[in-house]
């Protein structure tokens, strides 16, 4: 008898059927992967199990009996917990206070028993060997440390099933390896893990079985040992994913569109000089903390302490002036689309217009017909999957949110576009579409600076790659010399 069964699970949201009669089973003590394109229903299925959502139809069986996890608290009582993609703690409370929220230990007078609070939190942290101070504020933790606290909360309260939703999407390489080691330990202790991720290499390294969802339906379940990444990708997108040489590499690059000379910040980066030509994609590689995102933000004028010389197209720009950078034709797709690239409370059409409000308005009034026409054009070009342009952008999958964030800058028609981690947290199908779009933009004459922590995508798309280390530009690698080993040597400061 299967340990955990989903039988004909259906879930509807306004304008969309997120899950359509999904049936699959999960074995006890295994790490079971859920994979699919953005919007395929992976996270929704995990959230139904964890009590965040309630299924409209179908049933869940645990050890043969029907369960109804209709709230996170009910799911916890059943031994089910979820480690969320968007971490959700109170940043101004301590680790101990967050771990015990809802069940704070109290003394005879009704006051919170601080000693008992720390002891309980320490026991939870010790259950996963997390060396963290229970009195430390959550807001001071790294993403990886915050994730450890979530896992400690699950294990420390007796969870036997843990759903992990995109657990490495914001982790450094070191934090990712620490998480892998912890997942293996939890599995060895008999816990059942449901691992939702777009990163194929992770799934094949950690998981025993893999289930593929497509358009809200269950397509296939296989043992990892019996399938291949190529087969899984084909099942995910329903077609062969063709890998083609970028078109822009076969065209002659144009004049310099972005020229940076001696860009410096007192503590974050120093003496950064670079140039990007029209019609090329230049990669920007480096380890976490190397300073790449900080340089990108300074180029848009977001850092008032940065100094140096900046030329965009034929315009000399004052470093630190957002208005001047925008007027000269610079756009920035930021690293964190939800916090920096979009307004989640607005719809797709409204987000599409955010960088072009003066051009789309007259006497303070929006020209709605033109606004809708432009938004429809870019939605079609980017293959945006949304019920309508009036759909709240916060309800879209990560890949479709990224498309809206990109469309905002396409609407402005920037001549220089900096894209910071443009494919983070999105599936292989959406990645391929964004790669194709960036290639097309370069072929049309845009100058693109691409920041990415995924070396294979820089190697596949760029004509040359710049490398930062410790806030300094330490090398430039031409396409003929591309290799992950060469780039890692420069990034880590290791002699060849």
Domains and CATH numbers, the chain: 4-237 (3.40.50.300), 247-492 (3.40.50.300)
For residue 473 the two structure tokens come to 């530009």
- Assigned token pair, 203: 């799934």
pLDDT of residue 71: 92
Who has greater pLDDT, 299 or 170? 299
Give the per-residue pLDDT at 492. 78
Query: Tell me, what's the pLDDT at 495?
Result: 60
- Distance of alpha carbon 109 from alpha carbon 371, whole angstroms: 62
Note the helical H segments in 157-259: 173-188, 200-206, 229-237
Identify the pLDDT of residue 255. 96
Instruction: Indicate whether 442 pLDDT > 70.
Output: yes
Other CB atoms within a 10 A radius of the CB of residue 261 amount to 13
pLDDT at 86: 64
> Rounded to two decimals, what is the model's pTM?
0.68
pLDDT score of 128? 86
User: Average pLDDT for residues 191-195, to the nearest whole number?
Assistant: 95
Tens digits of residue pLDDT in 119-171: 999 998 988 888 899 999 988 887 778 888 888 888 888 899 999 988 887 77
Mapped to the 3 state alphabet, what secondary structure does 339-404 carry? HHHCCCCCEHHHHHHHHHCCCCEECCEECHHHHHHHHHHHHHHCCCCCCCCCCEHHHCCHHHHHHH
Handedness of CA 151, 154, 157, 158 (dihedral sign): negative
**pLDDT (0 to 100) of residue 240:** 55
- The confidence score (pLDDT) of residue 428 equals 76
Q: What is the pLDDT of residue 244?
A: 64
Tell me if residue 246 falls in helix, strand or coil.
coil
Please check the confidence at residue 39 and state whether its pLDDT lies above 80: no
């Amino acid at each position: 008898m299967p340990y955990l069964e989903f039988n004909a699970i259906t879930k509807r949201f306004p304008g969309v059927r997120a899950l359509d009669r999904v049936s699959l089973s999960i074995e006890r003590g295994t790490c079971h992967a859920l994979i699919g394109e953005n919007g395929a229903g992976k996270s929704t299925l995990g959230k139904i199990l964890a009590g965040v959502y309630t299924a409209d139809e179908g049933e869940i069986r645990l050890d043969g009996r029907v369960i109804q996890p209709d709230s996170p608290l009910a799911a916890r009582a059943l031994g089910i917990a979820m480690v969320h993609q968007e971490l959700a703690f109170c940043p101004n409370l301590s680790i101990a206070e967050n771990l015990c929220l809802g069940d704070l230990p109290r003394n005879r007078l009704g006051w919170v028993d601080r000693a008992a609070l720390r002891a309980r939190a320490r026991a939870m942290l010790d259950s996963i060997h997390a060396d963290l101070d229970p009195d430390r504020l959550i807001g001071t933790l790294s993403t990886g440390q915050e994730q450890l606290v979530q896992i400690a909360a699950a294990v420390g309260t007796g969870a036997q099933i843990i759903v992990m939703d995109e657990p490495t999407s914001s982790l450094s390489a070191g934090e990712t390896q620490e998480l892998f080691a912890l997942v293996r330990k939890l599995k060895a202790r008999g816990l059942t893990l449901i691992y939702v991720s777009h990163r194929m290499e992770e799934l094949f390294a950690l998981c025993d079985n893999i289930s593929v969802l497509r358009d809200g339906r269950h397509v296939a379940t296989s043992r990892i040992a019996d399938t291949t990444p190529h087969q899984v990708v084909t099942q995910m997108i329903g077609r062969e994913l063709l890998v083609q040489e970028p078109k822009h590499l076969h065209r002659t690059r144009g004049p310099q569109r972005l020229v940076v000379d001696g860009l410096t910040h007192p503590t974050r980066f120093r003496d950064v000089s670079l140039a990007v030509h029209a019609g090329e994609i230049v990669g920007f590689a480096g380890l976490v903390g190397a300073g790449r995102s900080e340089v990108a933000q300074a180029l848009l004028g977001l850092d008032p302490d940065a100094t140096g010389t900046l030329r965009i197209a034929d315009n000399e720009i004052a470093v630190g002036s957002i208005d001047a950078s925008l007027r000269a034709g610079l756009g920035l797709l930021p690293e964190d689309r939800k916090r920096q690239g979009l307004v989640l409370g607005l719809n797709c059409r409204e987000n599409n217009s955010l960088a072009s409000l003066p051009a789309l308005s007259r006497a303070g009034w929006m020209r709605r017909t033109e606004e809708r026409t432009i938004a429809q054009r870019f939605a079609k070009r980017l293959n945006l999957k949304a019920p309508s342009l009036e759909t709240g952008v916060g309800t879209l999958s990560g890949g479709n949110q990224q498309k809206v964030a990109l469309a905002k800058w396409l609407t402005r028609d920037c001549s220089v576009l900096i894209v910071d981690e443009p494919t983070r947290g999105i599936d292989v199908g959406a990645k391929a579409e964004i790669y194709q779009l960036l290639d097309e933009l370069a072929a049309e004459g845009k100058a693109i600076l691409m920041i990415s922590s995924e070396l294979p995508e820089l190697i596949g798309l760029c004509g040359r790659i710049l490398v930062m280390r410790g806030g300094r530009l330490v090398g430039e690698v031409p396409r003929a010399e591309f290799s992950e080993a060469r780039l890692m040597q420069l990034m880590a400061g290791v002699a060849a």
